[in-house]
């Protein structure tokens, strides 16, 4: 009786296949929520403004304002795609 290993199609390994690199892909900049502001924005008020402290990268230690969708509390860690963009302060008219 044939075993499953014998009947499975075998793929030849050739030198033309690309080598697997163990480089870490860019995941963004790690930041920590320092303060959740009481302001909400968006059509339905689903977006909150938070102050984030950058924990790594060239802007390490800088605190920036960002808009966040979803539940968030002080102490949460976020991965931001970039640190150059900063949300504008929302003021009541």
In this structure, is the dihedral angle defined by the CA atoms of residues 39, 88, 53 and 57, taken in order, positive or negative? positive
Distance between CA atoms of residues 30 and 52, nearest Å:
10
Helix (H) or strand (E) holding 7: helix 4-7
- Please tell me the CATH superfamily of domain 27-80, with its number: Nucleic acid-binding proteins (2.40.50.140)
State residue 64's pLDDT score: 96
**Structural domain boundaries in the chain:** 27-80
Going by their DSSP bridges, the two strands 47-54 and 77-80 should be labelled as unpaired
Confidence of residue 28 (pLDDT cuts 50, 70, 90): confident
State residue 91's pLDDT score: 81
In this predicted model, what pLDDT tens digit does every residue of 30-84 receive, in sequence order?
999 999 999 898 899 999 999 999 999 889 999 999 999 999 999 999 999 998 9
Confidence of residue 23 (pLDDT cuts 50, 70, 90): low
């Amino acid at each position: 009786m044939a075993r499953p290993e014998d009947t499975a199609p075998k793929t030849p390994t050739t030198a033309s296949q690309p080598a697997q690199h163990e480089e870490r892909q860019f995941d963004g900049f790690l930041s920590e929520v320092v303060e959740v502001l009481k302001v909400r924005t968006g059509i339905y008020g689903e977006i909150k403004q938070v102050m984030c402290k950058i924990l790594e990268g060239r802007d390490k230690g800088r605190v920036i304002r960002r808009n966040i969708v979803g539940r968030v509390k002080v102490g949460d860690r976020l991965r931001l795609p970039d640190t150059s963009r900063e949300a504008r302060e929302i003021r009541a008219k």
